[in-house]
Amino acid sequence: MKKFHEILICVIGTTPQIITETIYALATKKDPVFLDEISILTTTLGKKKIEETLINRGILNNLIKDYNLPPLKLTDASFIVFSDQNGNLLDDIVTPEHNECVGDTITSYIKELSNDFSKRLHCSLAGGRKTMSFYLGMALQLFGRSWDELYHVLITPEFELNPEFFYKPPQNKIIESKMPDGSIRTLETKNAQIHLTQLPFIRFRDKIHLEGKSFRELIKEGQKSIDSNVMVLPLKLKLRERSICIGDSLVINNISPIQLVFYTLFLVKKKACGKRKCSPGCDECFITIKEEIPGNSEMVKEIFYYYKLIYPSRADELFDKYKEGFHSETIRSYISKINQKIKKELGNDSLSYHYIINTKRHYGNSKYGIYLDKSKITIMK
């Protein structure tokens, strides 16, 4: 049963033979891939060269016949020709602006294709300018699925840029090539080797937030998403030890029991958030602190409960002191103290931002809570 619509995507400059070499390499490898479609990202010059050789000289058809491959056609629809920011087609990629346009075209093309889950993308970065290869690899890194592949094709040097060599024919053929000094050298195709290298890559799809349009925007967004998520270490709160562990090596000790109680309240609230997509923007796990919090409120009950766990010998003293409840100023001062302690230990503001109790101002009201993802929070007695 056929599973995927197999599509070859090539970036091509002025060496059309990379297309046939890749088709050949895919069809003759151990687990052969027989393509259903080819898509070529190139310049006007590249397209002209491909049409002259692979189409008009019948080289693609010869390859299909020689190896009995399923039919494969190159039509106008197989080409994506790069253009500049004004829509003028490019015959070469020279300026930084051209490069930027090429990057955007490649990225948006791969993004679009990768939304079709019936297709498997076989991307070859062997052709074109180096930036084209880079963009193709990066686009696949951003949008590739587990089944998509990235390749480089390596050819025996004397055949590599030989304009008469397109793939290794089943029967040996003699080809002649003109050397730089003008002399003619004959080559036997049986000596040619074509190696397909499968290149591993990290798949960021669905791991980071990627909504941007241009390549530059996507990279900026991806970096932001990584900075704020992947590198954030998990937090472990140990109530009786009165410590907070961040990752494996950072431990914040000797936190005053009452400060720790308030920190615990916010962590518990975050962990209990019922919103399926609880993110840093989530409001549900943030708490509004009223001016006066009466002694019989849920919040005060929780405060007493955690205090007793943390510091049982002084619990009665605290109950006595706050039996009428808390004033918001008292709570705010504890929040500020625990935040200062965390910031002092973590140093880095963009890192500590995940662990401190943050404030969100909303129509004159302030809500307090933790940005750290709830999956990264563990509370231990």
Give the type of residue at 235: L
3-class DSSP state of 199: coil
Q: How far apart are CA 304 and CA 282, in angstroms?
A: 27
Residue 249 or 375 having the CB closest to Zn ion: 375
Residue 276 or 361 having the CB closest to Zn ion: 276
Q: Minimum distance from CB of 245 to Zn ion (Å)?
A: 23
The DSSP element (H or E) to which 19 belongs, if any, is helix 17-28
C-beta of residue 218 within 8 angstroms of C-beta of residue 359: no
Q: Minimum distance from CB of 234 to Zn ion (Å)?
A: 17
Q: How far apart are CA 315 and CA 306, in angstroms?
A: 10
Residue 166 or 286 having the CB closest to Zn ion: 286
Secondary structure (DSSP) of 101-137: HHHHHHHHHHHHHTT-TTEEEEEE-SSS-HHHHHHHH
Q: Minimum distance from CB of 283 to Zn ion (Å)?
A: 7
C-beta of residue 247 within 8 angstroms of C-beta of residue 233: yes
The site for Zn ion (CB under 5 A) is made up of 273, 275, 278, 282, 284-285
Give 370's Cβ-side CA count (13 Å radius). Answer: 27
Q: Minimum distance from CB of 51 to Zn ion (Å)?
A: 57
Q: Minimum distance from CB of 285 to Zn ion (Å)?
A: 3
Give the type of residue at 111: K
Q: How far apart are CA 377 and CA 361, in angstroms?
A: 24
> First vs last Cα of the chain: how many Å apart?
55
Torsion angle, alpha carbons of 327, 333, 339, 342, to 10: -110
Residue 222 or 369 having the CB closest to Zn ion: 369
Across the beta sheet with 235-238, the strand order is: 250-252, 243-246, 235-238, 377-380
